[in-house]
Every structure is written in C-alpha cells, then in structure tokens.
C-alpha cells in the first residue's frame, strides 16, 4: 500500500462520525467470486472514566441499548468493523477501545494493566449509560472477561457472545510464577523507556501491515490488518512516510488471571444468561484441552448455552465475518428480537 493510501486510512477515523464501507467476497461454489458493498453508519463516541475516556464506534440509534463489543489483547474497536454491518439492524452496536488500546486513554503512569480492570470497565459503562442490563460480545481477551463478568454479575447480563477463547486459561504453577516475575521486571523497563518519551520504532506502511500480520501468527489477514491499524498507528514525527504502533507499550506486560481449574468451573455454574460461544477450528485452545472440555461441559448445563465451531483463524470474525454472522444473528434475534 502506498503512503498516501496508508495516510488516508489513518485520517478517516479522526472525525466524529463515519460510514463503514466494506468490500466483501461472495462465492456460492467456491470458485466464482463477486464483490458486495456493505455500508453502515457509525458515530465516534467517548465515555468518561476517572483516568480519561473510553473511545468507541456506535452503530445504530442512540435510544436503543447496544450490544457492547469488546476486542482482544492489543487489538481495538476495529476488530468488529467487518462484522458490525452484518448484525441485525433493529439493535445498536457499540464497539469500544479498551484502556491503552486504540483511541482510548492510557492508564496513569505507574499502573500495570490487569484483566480484572476490563471487567470493572463494563460496570463503569453501565453506570454511565444507566443500563440495568448489558449485552456483551467479546473476542479473545474480552471473551474471557465477558465470561468472568457474566459469572460475577449474572443478574446484569441478558446476553453474552464469546468468540474463540472460552474462559481464563489454566496455567501450571511454574508458568504462573515465572511469568509474573518476568512481567513485573519488564514493566519497570517499559516505565523507564516511557519516562524518556522516545517515539516507538517506525515502519513503512507495508512493513507495519506485515508486522501486525506476523505478530498475530497470521491470524489477522493482510487485507484485514487495515481495520486494526486505523486505530492503532500514527505517522512518525521524525521519519517522513513512516508509522508506529500507538497502543500503550505497557500492554505487552499485562497481568492476566492466575486461577486453578476449580474457579472457572464455579464461574461456569453461575452463568445463567443466554450464552453463545463460537470456536475457530484453526485457532489453538491456549491451554490443555482437558481444562477447556471440563468448563464446556459445565456450561452445557445452562439450557440457554449454544456452542458452534467454524473454519478459520483466531480472528475469523474479522477476516471472514460471514462465517459467524448467521450464527450470531440467529442468537441475537432469539434473545433480543425486534
């Protein structure tokens, strides 16, 4: 991609509203391929929080309580750019940037990001909009946090859609202890670099796309990278025609849940809302499958739980949203019909 095209992608998101224009490939027989334009208007919004603001993209009418879309680790609200236009038109959809991601405020200096912060963030957003209930769609890290939130506050969730990661992964004691020591040490190193205020490494646009693609183990397709980079890259102030990743570098040393298998099993027993989970077949389980299967069995005791598998990578909802849209829409129309 040329510098001019890259710059246009970055500047498209600076206004207060926009129209999502997406070219999607359609194929009935796997060979002939045509293009279909899908268009959906959204408004850029900000939600006040004690340390600044949460940025997001609001699709649909403001008087309708939206489905709250939450992205994976180091991604942003752009993760739902291709799926949002395919969702039922009678509902609104609010895709947010979590703290330190996208266009949202970073946490104050000296703070380490932790998964539980994002669980509390859902309550903050509910209070800001005076919602008694929340509908959640979460991918990866946010699928985990949606699972935790639905267990901690079962009376506040009327619908939960999880994408690809079922629950907090279980780690061995050795992995937990080693990982904590490494992340805490690295967090101090990042703080020292941030105090100096140097700009992160900058890359040509095509290099930036490739780094994102490879950095996700090729889970995000080269074509789909642009949807994340619109909110995750800035032009370099020192090197013309180059860009850098603009998310908070402290995110790389985030602290995640360190739980025994008994805790997710207890959480699963407390989730009573309609719950849809979609697993990407070409994505890993991120833990020993026996832990995954045990929690899945516990979730199946909820008569309103649905489980589906689709072909695709960890970011199948972004790369090929049609594969999950029909499943999600059927679920939504049962839980929150017109």
Q: What is the pLDDT of residues 80-135, one digit of tens each?
A: 999 999 999 999 999 999 999 999 999 999 999 999 999 999 999 999 999 999 99
Evaluate whether the domain defined by 42-170+255-335 bears CATH number 3.40.50.1820: yes
Q: How far apart are CA 79 and CA 66, in angstroms?
A: 17
Q: Supply the mean pLDDT for the chain.
A: 91
Strands (E), 248-333: 275-280, 305-310
Q: How far apart are CA 105 and CA 248, in angstroms?
A: 9
Radius of gyration (Cα) for the chain, nearest Å? Answer: 20
Q: Does residue 158 surpass a pLDDT of 90?
A: yes
- Identify whether 219 is a catalytic site residue: no
Per-domain residue ranges of the chain = 42-170+255-335
The one catalytic residue among 104, 115, 135, 140: 140
Q: What is the DSSP string of 45-68?
A: EEEEETTEEEEEEEES-TTSPPEE
What mean pLDDT do residues 181-199 have? 92
Tokens at 223, concatenated: 């074509």
Tokens at 152, concatenated: 């901690």
DSSP state of 255: B
Residues 10-56 pLDDT 10s? 544 444 667 665 555 444 333 333 335 566 899 999 999 999 999 99
Q: Does residue 330 surpass a pLDDT of 70?
A: yes
The per-residue pLDDT for 246 is: 96
3-state SS class at 104 = coil
Residues 201-217 pLDDT 10s? 999 999 999 999 999 99
Verdict on whether the full-model pTM lies above 0.85: yes
Distance set, CA 45 to CA 18, 76, 97, 210, 215 (Å): 11, 14, 11, 30, 29
């Amino acid at each position: 991609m040329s510098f001019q095209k890259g710059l246009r992608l970055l500047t498209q998101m600076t206004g207060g509203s926009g129209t999502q224009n997406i070219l999607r490939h359609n194929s009935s027989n796997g060979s002939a391929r045509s293009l279909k334009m899908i268009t959906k208007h959204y408004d850029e919004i900000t939600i006040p929080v004690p340390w600044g603001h949460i940025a997001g993209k609001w699709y649909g009418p403001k008087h309708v309580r939206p489905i709250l879309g939450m992205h994976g680790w180091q991604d942003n609200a752009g993760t739902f750019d291709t799926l949002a236009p395919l969702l039922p038109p009678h509902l609104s959809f609010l895709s947010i940037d979590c703290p330190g991601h996208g266009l949202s405020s970073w946490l104050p200096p000296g703070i380490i990001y932790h998964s539980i912060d994002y669980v509390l963030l859902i309550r903050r957003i509910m209070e800001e909009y005076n919602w008694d209930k929340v509908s959640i769609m979460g991918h990866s890290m946010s699928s985990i946090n949606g699972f935790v939130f639905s267990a901690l506050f079962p009376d506040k969730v009327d619908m939960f859609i999880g994408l690809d990661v079922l629950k907090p992964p279980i780690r061995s004691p050795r992995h937990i202890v080693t990982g904590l020591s490494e992340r805490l040490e690295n967090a101090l190193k990042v703080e020292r670099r941030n105090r100096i205020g140097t700009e992160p490494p900058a890359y040509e646009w095509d290099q930036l796309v490739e780094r994102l693609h490879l950095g996700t183990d090729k889970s995000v397709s080269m074509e789909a990278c642009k949807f994340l980079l619109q909110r995750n890259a800035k032009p370099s102030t020192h090197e013309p025609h180059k860009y850098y990743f603009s998310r908070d570098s402290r995110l790389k040393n985030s602290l995640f849940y360190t739980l025994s298998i008994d805790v997710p099993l207890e959480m699963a027993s407390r989730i009573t809302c309609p719950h849809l989970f979609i697993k990407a077949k070409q994505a890993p389980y991120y833990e020993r499958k026996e832990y995954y299967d045990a929690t899945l069995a516990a979730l199946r005791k909820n008569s309103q739980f649905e489980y589906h598998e689709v072909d695709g990578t960890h970011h199948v909802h972004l790369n090929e949203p049609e594969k999950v849209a029909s499943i999600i829409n059927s679920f939504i129309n049962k839980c929150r019909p017109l």
